[in-house]
């Protein structure tokens, strides 16, 4: 089942991808019905990055980063690499040389349920990574994996071409076919939030804004 590279994958329109990135993880996650979120141990290696891109997926053996080199060739402008090891591993699959190569192909970042190294260089280069660990542990190039096959990464299903949204809140996956609809809902949500934010800032209470008092009382909430 491994040893496969799928070359022609479909991607969502780049303006949809960019729109999802502008909305950010929390909004997109809500907009698509609270699905697609990776586990909270996936953390950015530096603060402040916010990206979206089309997933080029990698399934790799533990401690073996050969398939990353194979995947780089499949990258197009606007893509994000997403790697899941076939068994749990914290090794440093990726560093500044691979980032140099990926950036040269238009890659916007890396999401990896494993480790990464050269993190100071990656920050200086402006290449963002969300990972499970930071580790200098070197990897080998001995065993085949696959590129652009469906993977499970940090609890989320990722199909090649899905939209990856990542920021300081974590990483969320939007199925390619849903991307446009989710973007619409995300924007509606944002418009709606703006008004709420203004009223809450003015001192109005959520209890009133969301009309919660009656339901709380009916459930028996007691003020003492």
Range 145-184, binding a second copy (CB under 8 A) = 150, 152, 155-157, 167-170, 172
Segment contacting a second copy by CB under 8 A, of 12-20, 118-126, 182-190: 118-126
Least Cα distance to 20 among 55, 44, 46 occurs for 55
Q: Give the whole-angstrom CA distance, residue 66 versus residue 50.
A: 27
- Minimum distance, C-beta of residue 23 to a second copy, in the bound complex (Å): 12
- Binder among 20, 21, 90, 186 for a second copy (CB under 8 A): 90
| Contact flag: residue 221 with a second copy (CB under 8 A) | yes
Give, in degrees to the nearest 5, the angle at Cα 79 between 82 and 178: 85
| Contact flag: residue 203 with a second copy (CB under 8 A) | yes
| Contact flag: residue 192 with a second copy (CB under 8 A) | no
Segment contacting a second copy by CB under 8 A, of 10-18, 179-187, 189-197: 189-197
- Minimum distance, C-beta of residue 20 to a second copy, in the bound complex (Å): 13
- Binder among 18, 96, 180, 190 for a second copy (CB under 8 A): 96
Segment contacting a second copy by CB under 8 A, of 13-21, 180-188, 191-199: 191-199
Note whether 80 and 108 are within 8 A (CB): yes
- Binder among 40, 126, 177, 188 for a second copy (CB under 8 A): 40
Q: How many CB atoms lie within 10 A of CB 123?
A: 17
| Contact flag: residue 193 with a second copy (CB under 8 A) | yes
Q: Tell me the β-bridge partners of 174.
A: 163
Q: Give the whole-angstrom CA distance, residue 13 versus residue 39.
A: 27
- Binder among 97, 177, 181, 188 for a second copy (CB under 8 A): 97
| Contact flag: residue 205 with a second copy (CB under 8 A) | yes
203-212: string of b/e by CB count within 10 Å (b at 16+)? eeeeeeeeee
Residues touching a second copy: how many (CB under 8 A)?
Answer: 93
First and final CA of the chain: distance in angstroms? 63
Give, in degrees to the nearest 5, the angle at Cα 166 between 199 and 135: 135
Segment contacting a second copy by CB under 8 A, of 10-18, 135-143, 179-187: 135-143
How long a stretch of residues is the chain? 224
């Amino acid at each position: 089942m491994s040893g496969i590279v799928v070359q022609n994958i479909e991607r969502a329109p780049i303006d949809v991808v960019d729109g999802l990135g502008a909305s950010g993880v929390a909004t997109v996650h809500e907009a698509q019905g609270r699905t697609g979120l990776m586990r909270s141990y996936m953390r950015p290696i530096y603060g402040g990055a916010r990206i979206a891109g089309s997933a080029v997926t990698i399934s790799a053996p533990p401690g073996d980063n050969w398939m990353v080199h194979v995947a780089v060739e499949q990258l197009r402008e606007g893509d994000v690499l997403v790697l899941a090891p076939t068994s749990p591993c914290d090794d440093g699959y990726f560093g500044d040389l691979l980032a140099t190569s990926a950036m040269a192909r238009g890659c916007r970042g890396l999401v990896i349920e494993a480790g990464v190294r050269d993190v100071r260089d990656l920050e200086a280069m402006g290449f963002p990574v969300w990972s499970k660990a930071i580790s200098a542990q070197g990897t080998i190039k001995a065993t085949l994996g696959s590129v652009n096959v469906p993977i499970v990464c940090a609890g989320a299903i990722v199909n090649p071409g899905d939209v990856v949204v990542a920021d300081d809140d974590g990483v969320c996956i939007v199925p390619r076919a849903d991307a446009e609809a989710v973007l619409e809902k995300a924007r509606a949500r944002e418009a709606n939030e703006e008004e709420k934010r203004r009223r809450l800032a003015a001192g109005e209470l959520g209890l009133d804004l969301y009309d919660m008092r009656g339901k709380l009382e009916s459930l028996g909430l007691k003020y003492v």
